[in-house]
Chains A and B, each alone.
Chain A
Amino acid sequence: MSADIILETEDLTKEFAGFAAVGGVDLRVRRGSIHALIGPNGAGKTTCFNLLTKFLSPTRGRIVFKGQDITAMQPADVARLGLVRSFQISAVFPHMTVLENVRIALQRLRGNSMDFWRSRAVLDQYNDRAMALIADVGLTEFTNWAAVELPYGRKRALEIATTLALDPEMLLLDEPTAGMGHEDIDRISQLIRRVAANRTVLMVEHNLSVVSDLSDTITVLTRGRVLAEGDYETVSNNPDVREAYMGVGHA
């Protein structure tokens, strides 16, 4: 495996009762790139994500992250290696404040999470770092809000701040702009571009303008298989993709 490939899958397959949700996917993600996974509903994008982060076990195949075979690992261990995911439904801790949400991630990274005999005041040492991360995603004025009270777009921003607190080498974003209005989409797009400056991003995304705007590489999945791969130009001109994904036959 070449050194600039951070994540690679080989014949990745997940079958549910004989139906192959993901069938023999070979994926190669270059270090430092923004890689998008697109495809119609039911193409196996989310299943693919769940396999990569070990929330599902593959029926067949291998997953290699940073040269290490992670196929048999526990999800928490994968996260500890630096491959951290977001979820399609927004993944925040609803009844904790924005600050507490971010601190939970910092706390894991810096230890003392098992300390049941100490006051949680020791967590105040993470406040500065947490505030910096919160400022980064434009949530400063929401610091003491309970996460559940935030508007949808802000929740996604919080989720990204929490993920970034772990300083992961690679981010997996599951539909980061799903259900957002224009303004939020722009904000999140800019944020993704910014955080991708020194890390790798693999994302599932439906919004094609976001995809074309951000991605270096696009992989098109349909019925659990890779249909095409390349930059936006290549992929969007591929007749198979136009047929299967965009529903236009021969334009």
Chain B
Amino acid sequence: MEERIAQPAAVAAPPTFLRANAEAIAFVVMAVGLAVAPFFTYPLFLMQAMCFALFACAFNLLIGYVGLLSFGHALYFGWASYLAAHAAKVWGLTPELAILTGTATAAILGLVAGSLAIRRQGIYFAMITLALAQMMFFFALQAEFTGGEDGIQAVPRGYLFGLIDLRNDVAIYALVLFVFLGGFLLIYRIIHSPFGEVLKAIRENEPRAISLGYKTDRYKLIAFILSAALAGLAGSTKAIVMQLASLTDVNWPMSGEVVLMTLVGGLGTIFGPVVGAFVILAMQFKLSVVGEWVLVIQGVIFVTCVLLFRRGIVGEITARFKS
């Protein structure tokens, strides 16, 4: 039989060392860059940015790799930071246990919210996540232990494992860097795991995945819980670093901000949310002189991205790199 075989697109060019190891190289550059960055800019800014970057990566796991738009991710970020702050300040737990408390809280919240939301698709899914997040925002506003408008202030950084004083600038920076890189690698691993393959299949063609016998709701729920827990890890760490848990982190604009970061950086790219978080945060920092106008500028960037650069910063660069 005659066969006409076109050149497959998948194996277009022979992969060079650079191409084949692009992700590993980018990771090393990022890790080294972050390790030396405190010599050049404010460590507190960098630590905060790393927390937001991890938050955005966790959010991206859901939107970019499962195709689920959660519009209430501040719920996990914010509530984890409350619980971590409370655990450190009131219960007197060591920072690693406080962070663990916050992360576990976010995982449980993710289990509850996820179970309710994954029964619906698309916009309804987003609305349910938003509604639940708003409900929990009002709870945070009213509850005694969250401190209402004041938040939980003067959270002690404490001694890591009861040994290392985190008031030391190097120690706290090293901790945040470790948490961020660890969380980032975990997300990378999840995406490139057997579980990640199934997530990809579900995103590509859910009815077909079901017809192959996959209980797709279960996979989506696990992805949701992982995303919520990692968002919680970011929120808890931020509470220890900034020594503060406040309403800002649990309110809906925060849920919107993480969407913006992910979109600007590149949805569904592994490094995109990191770049997006740093860009947005740097912008807020540099433009703080213009006050509320920063929101208008953010809005313009958002619209520009959606209209012109759908793939985001990293997505555009990768596309150029490939072609």
A: residues with CB less than 8 A from B are 53, 55, 74-77, 79-80, 84-87, 91-97, 100, 103-105, 107-109, 112-120, 122-123, 141-142, 144-146, 149, 162-163, 166, 183
Could you tell me the distance in whole angstroms from the C-beta of A182 to the nearest C-beta in chain B?
A: 12
CA A103 – CA B194 in complex, angstroms? 10
Q: Check A104/B212 contact, CB under 8 A, given A91-B207, A115-B193, A116-B193.
A: yes
Point out the residues of chain B lying under 8 angstroms from A146, CB to CB.
8-10
Point out the residues of chain A lying under 8 angstroms from B222, CB to CB.
114, 116
List the B residue with the shortest CB-CB distance to A103: B197
Given contacts A96-B201, A149-B8, 8 further A-B contacts (CB under 8 A): A74-B215, A76-B214, A77-B215, A84-B212, A87-B208, A108-B214, A118-B193, A183-B1
Is the CB of B167 closer than 8 A to any CB of chain A?
A: no
Binary A-proximity of B204-216 (CB < 8 A = 1, otherwise 0): 1101111111111
Contact of A79 among B5, B196, B201, B210 (CB under 8 A): B210
Contact, CB under 8 Å: B205 / A93: yes
Contact, CB under 8 Å: A107 / B208: no
Contact, CB under 8 Å: B11 / A116: no
Contact, CB under 8 Å: B194 / A144: no
The 9 closest A-B pairs by CB, nearest first: A79-B213, A116-B195, A91-B208, A93-B204, A145-B8, A80-B213, A76-B215, A116-B190, A104-B201
List the B residue with the shortest CB-CB distance to A101: B201
Report which residue of B208, B211, B215, B222 has the largest number of chain A beta carbons within 10 angstroms of its beta carbon.
Answer: B211
Is the CB of B192 closer than 8 A to any CB of chain A?
A: yes
Those of B178-197 within 8 Å (CB) of chain A: 189-190, 192-197
Is the CB of B310 closer than 8 A to any CB of chain A?
A: no
A-B contact pairs, 19 of them (CB 8 A): A53-B211, A55-B207, A87-B208, A87-B211, A92-B205, A96-B201, A104-B197, A107-B194, A107-B198, A108-B213, A109-B213, A116-B222, A119-B189, A120-B192, A120-B196, A141-B5, A144-B8, A145-B10, A149-B8
List the A residue with the shortest CB-CB distance to B11: A144
Point out the residues of chain A lying under 8 angstroms from B194, CB to CB.
107, 112-116, 118, 120, 122-123
Contact, CB under 8 Å: B208 / A92: yes
Q: Check A75/B205 contact, CB under 8 A, given A107-B197, A118-B194, A120-B197.
A: no
Is the CB of B226 closer than 8 A to any CB of chain A?
A: yes
Point out the residues of chain A lying under 8 angstroms from B9, CB to CB.
145-146, 149
List the B residue with the shortest CB-CB distance to A122: B194
Could you tell me the distance in whole angstroms from the C-beta of A120 to the nearest C-beta in chain B?
A: 5
Point out the residues of chain B lying under 8 angstroms from A122, CB to CB.
194
List the B residue with the shortest CB-CB distance to A55: B207
Point out the residues of chain A lying under 8 angstroms from B197, CB to CB.
100, 103-104, 107, 113, 120, 123
Number of interface residues of B (CB under 8 A): 33
Contact of B213 among A55, A76, A114, A145 (CB under 8 A): A76
Contact, CB under 8 Å: B205 / A91: yes
Contact, CB under 8 Å: B8 / A166: no
List the B residue with the shortest CB-CB distance to A104: B201
CA A115 – CA B199 in complex, angstroms? 12
Report which residue of B190, B195, B208, B222 has the largest number of chain A beta carbons within 10 angstroms of its beta carbon.
Answer: B208
List the A residue with the shortest CB-CB distance to B3: A141
Contact of B208 among A93, A95, A109 (CB under 8 A): A93
Point out the residues of chain B lying under 8 angstroms from A142, CB to CB.
8
CA A115 – CA B192 in complex, angstroms? 10
Contact, CB under 8 Å: B193 / A119: yes
Contact, CB under 8 Å: B198 / A113: yes
Point out the residues of chain B lying under 8 angstroms from A145, CB to CB.
8-10
Point out the residues of chain B lying under 8 angstroms from A92, CB to CB.
205, 208
CA A77 – CA B210 in complex, angstroms? 9
CA A104 – CA B201 in complex, angstroms? 8
CA A96 – CA B199 in complex, angstroms? 12
Contact, CB under 8 Å: A96 / B204: yes
Point out the residues of chain A lying under 8 angstroms from B211, CB to CB.
53, 55, 75, 79, 84-87, 91
Contact, CB under 8 Å: B213 / A144: no
Could you tell me the distance in whole angstroms from the C-beta of B126 to the nearest C-beta in chain A?
A: 24
CA A116 – CA B190 in complex, angstroms? 5
Point out the residues of chain A lying under 8 angstroms from B189, CB to CB.
116-119
CA A166 – CA B214 in complex, angstroms? 12
Point out the residues of chain A lying under 8 angstroms from B207, CB to CB.
55, 87, 91
List the B residue with the shortest CB-CB distance to A93: B204
Those of B213-244 within 8 Å (CB) of chain A: 213-216, 219, 222, 226
List the B residue with the shortest CB-CB distance to A95: B204
CA A117 – CA B226 in complex, angstroms? 11
Could you tell me the distance in whole angstroms from the C-beta of B212 to the nearest C-beta in chain A?
A: 5
Point out the residues of chain B lying under 8 angstroms from A113, CB to CB.
194-195, 197-198, 214, 219
Report which residue of A92, A113, A119 has the largest number of chain B beta carbons within 10 angstroms of its beta carbon.
Answer: A113
Contact, CB under 8 Å: A94 / B204: yes
